[in-house]
């Protein structure tokens, strides 16, 4: 049985950047679930698939439902990403297990009408570790304006035998993007 100790959401809305007003304020949201690591205390477990198959879809559904408490619709999401932090008694593979499966990722991707790969971080850390969620445009992962990162922390998570699993979404790219785009670079460099 999946044991969820806590669900945590962080929301940021940028209204001014670089001293210039952002015409349409950009909201970034991270929803995170603090779960008991099902492999903690079991020594090395060769086959992680039974727990992945059972829990990854549940975690995905929970986090998507939490996200939509803070955002209007799939059309409001422009960028997305995911992350996991395993407590110090776990393996990085335990963090990876729940986010690197379509059984988790497609719950999020489908809900926001995304087609891009979900960028990610996965790491080991103690309580209060930064949960760093890199994001890309949901339908064009080469769109530089949407290469953004949202960072949040949960003061008491992950505990040594827990995993924090997170998704992040943004209603826009960086405020006032001015770095061009990959497609333009390729044309200028004669690569296409």
In the prediction, which pLDDT does 94 show?
97
In the prediction, which pLDDT does 95 show?
96
- pLDDT, tens digit, 9 for 90 and up, residues 145-164: 999 999 999 999 999 999 99
Please enumerate in sequence order all residues whose Cβ is within 8 A of that of 83, keeping only pairs 6 or more positions apart, or say none.
99, 120, 121, 122, 131, 132, 133, 134, 164, 165, 166, 168
- pLDDT, tens digit, 9 for 90 and up, residues 25-60: 999 999 999 999 999 999 999 999 999 999 999 999
Let me know: does 5 contact 34? Beta carbons within 8 Å.
yes
**Three-class SS of residue 134?**
strand
In the prediction, which pLDDT does 186 show?
85
- pLDDT, tens digit, 9 for 90 and up, residues 62-101: 999 999 999 999 999 999 999 999 999 999 999 999 999 9
Let me know: does 149 contact 155? Beta carbons within 8 Å.
no
In the prediction, which pLDDT does 146 show?
95
Strands 79-86 and 119-124: parallel
Cα separation, 66 vs 71, in Å, equals 9
Calculate mean pLDDT across residues 179-192. Answer: 85
Cα–chain center distance at 49: 21
- pLDDT above 90 for 182: no
Q: Is the pTM of this model over 0.75?
A: yes
Calculate mean pLDDT across residues 97-125. Answer: 97
């Amino acid at each position: 049985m999946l044991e969820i100790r806590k669900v945590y959401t962080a929301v940021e809305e940028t209204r001014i950047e670089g001293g210039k007003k952002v015409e349409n304020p950009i909201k970034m949201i991270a929803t995170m679930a603090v779960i008991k690591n099902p492999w903690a205390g079991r020594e090395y477990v060769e086959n992680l698939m039974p727990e992945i198959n059972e829990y990854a879809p549940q975690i995905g559904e929970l986090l998507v439902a939490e996200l939509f408490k803070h955002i209007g619709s799939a059309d409001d999401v422009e960028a997305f990403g995911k992350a996991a932090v395993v407590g110090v008694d776990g393996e990085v593979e335990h963090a990876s297990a729940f986010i690197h499966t379509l059984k988790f990722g497609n719950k999020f991707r489908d809900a926001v009408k995304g087609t891009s790969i979900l960028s990610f971080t996965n790491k080991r850390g103690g309580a209060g570790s930064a949960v760093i969620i890199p994001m890309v445009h949901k339908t064009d992962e080469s769109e530089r304006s949407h290469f953004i990162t949202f960072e949040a922390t949960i003061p008491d998570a992950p505990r040594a035998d827990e995993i924090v699993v997170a998704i992040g979404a943004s209603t826009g790219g960086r405020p006032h993007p001015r770095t061009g785009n990959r497609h333009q670079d390729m044309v200028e460099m004669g690569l296409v």
